[in-house]
């Protein structure tokens, strides 16, 4: 099949494209190579993908509607996986415009292309951050989620609503993913695991927010990719819900799906696994809660398991070891 994947030089997009190519699909990749973090890392990911038959890379910003349209018409994709976005909760406090440009305008451009030539399935990345101030656990896709705490989360919720309206108006089969704390090899330098490992190898202190009283539903990258690949073949159909937990819209071929393991890991336990993988103790700088952050995340996996018979289950200890092994090899650390 022919896939169009945005964000292929990014952490998740790279792994998704790599898997699709291994499964002998054609992948047209789009990435703007923005300098939010080390562009060299992004270029290396694209270089690896470029070694595979069936991959075509395009360095284009999502805001460039004309360039996107040209690529889309040439690619004629069967399935579109939109993963590119301005990521990061805390960066949205200092550079909010980047989130408007990439997440709102960029996503609008992608779904406009889907309207021009409707794919068999349009899949778009959202985030667990849209649950915001919700306190009932686990987070379920059918929960009301209107209390986002950062602009990043607000833009992602907005893209969900934008996509729903297009799914309704133009009958575009659409699935939104809500990702939960994705980690693993080739991860982003702004994420906790990367920052902790980097600091600990230099014998520098790590910042532990909310005095360590935090829990996260960590999702290993290979599990996330498996879920995305399986969901690609599960396009929503109006009037065909997958059980009581389904978020399927009553008026559009549209649903929202959590991709998480449904198991919370305390932050201090996560740090302990990093220490075990590195064979050294951390120097901890205990800090208050950061603006816009939440103390806990926990995904309901009922819908995901109903749809594809799978949920993320890689133990954190294994996932952390895999990341540390990659980091040491990549940075010769």
Sequence-distant (6+) residues with CB within 8 A of 331 are: none
Q: How confident is the model at residue 124 (pLDDT cuts 50, 70, 90)?
A: very high
User: Is 321 within the bounds of a domain?
Assistant: no
| Max Cα–Cα distance, the chain, nearest Å | 57
* 100-127: average pLDDT: 97
What domain count does the chain have? Answer: 1
User: Is 206 within the bounds of a domain?
Assistant: no
The pLDDT value recorded for residue 52 is: 93
Which run of H or E residues covers position 98?
helix 96-99
pLDDT digits (tens, 9 = 90+) for 200-215: 999 999 999 999 999 9
**Distance of alpha carbon 224 from alpha carbon 10, whole angstroms:** 14
The pLDDT value recorded for residue 255 is: 98
For the chain, what percentages of helix, strand and coil (3-state, to nearest 5) are there? 45, 15, 40
Q: Pick the residue with more confidence: 191 or 92?
A: 191
**Distance of alpha carbon 239 from alpha carbon 31, whole angstroms:** 36
C-beta of residue 243 within 8 angstroms of C-beta of residue 306: yes
CA 284 to chain centre: 28
Q: Locate tokens 């656990």: which residue?
A: 137
Q: Which tokens belong to 269? A: 């336990």
Half-sphere exposure of 232 (CA within 13 A, CB side): 23
- Count CB-CB contacts under 10 A for residue 239: 7
User: Residue 89: pLDDT above 90?
Assistant: no
- Count CB-CB contacts under 10 A for residue 146: 11
User: Residue 291: pLDDT above 90?
Assistant: no
Tell me the whole-structure pTM to 2 decimals: 0.97
Peptide bond into 138 cis (omega under 30): yes
User: Is 62 within the bounds of a domain?
Assistant: yes
User: Is 324 within the bounds of a domain?
Assistant: no
- CATH code where residue 233 lies: 3.40.50.720
pLDDT digits (tens, 9 = 90+) for 250-273: 999 999 999 999 899 999 999 999
User: Is 281 within the bounds of a domain?
Assistant: no
The pLDDT value recorded for residue 325 is: 98
C-beta of residue 154 within 8 angstroms of C-beta of residue 212: no
User: Is 137 within the bounds of a domain?
Assistant: yes
Q: Which tokens belong to 235? A: 């396009």
pLDDT digits (tens, 9 = 90+) for 1-49: 999 999 999 999 999 999 999 999 999 999 999 998 999 999 999 999 9
**Residues with catalytic function:** 152
Domain carrying residue 61: 2-182+219-262+298-313
C-beta of residue 221 within 8 angstroms of C-beta of residue 15: yes
Facing residues of 2 across strands? 26
User: Is 196 within the bounds of a domain?
Assistant: no
């Amino acid at each position: 099949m022919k896939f169009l994947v945005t964000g292929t030089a990014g952490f998740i997009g790279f792994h998704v494209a790599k898997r699709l190519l291994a499964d002998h699909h054609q992948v047209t990749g789009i990435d703007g190579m923005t300098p939010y973090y080390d562009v060299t890392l992004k270029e290396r990911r694209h270089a690896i993908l470029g070694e595979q038959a069936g991959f075509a890379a395009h360095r284009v910003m999502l805001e460039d509607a004309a360039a996107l349209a040209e690529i889309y018409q040439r690619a004629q994709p069967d399935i579109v996986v939109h993963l590119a976005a301005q990521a990061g909760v805390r960066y949205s406090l200092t550079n909010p415009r980047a989130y408007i440009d990439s997440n709102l305008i960029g996503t609008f451009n992608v779904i406009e292309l889907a309207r021009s030539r409707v794919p068999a399935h349009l899949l778009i990345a959202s985030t667990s951050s849209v649950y915001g101030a919700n306190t009932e656990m686990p987070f379920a896709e059918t929960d009301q989620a209107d209390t986002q705490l950062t602009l990043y989360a607000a833009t992602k919720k907005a893209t969900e609503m934008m996509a729903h309206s297009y799914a309704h108006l133009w009958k575009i089969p659409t699935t939104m993913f809500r990702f939960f704390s994705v980690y693993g090899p080739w991860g982003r330098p702004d994420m906790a695991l990367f920052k902790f490992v980097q600091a600990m190898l230099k014998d520098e202190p790590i910042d532990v927010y909310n005095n360590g009283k935090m829990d996260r539903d960590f999702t290993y990258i290979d599990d996330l990719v498996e879920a995305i690949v399986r969901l690609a073949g599960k396009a929503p159909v109006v009037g065909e819900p997958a059980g009581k937990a389904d978020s399927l819209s009553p008026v559009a071929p549209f649903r929202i799906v959590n991709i998480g393991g449904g198991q919370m890991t305390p932050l201090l336990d996560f740090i302990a696994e990093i220490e075990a993988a590195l064979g050294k103790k951390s120097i901890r700088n205990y800090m208050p809660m950061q603006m816009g952050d939440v103390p806990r995340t926990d995904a309901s996996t009922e819908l995901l398991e109903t749809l594809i018979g799978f949920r993320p289950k890689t133990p954190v200890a294994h996932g952390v070891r895999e990341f540390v092994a990659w980091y040491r090899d990549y940075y010769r650390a």
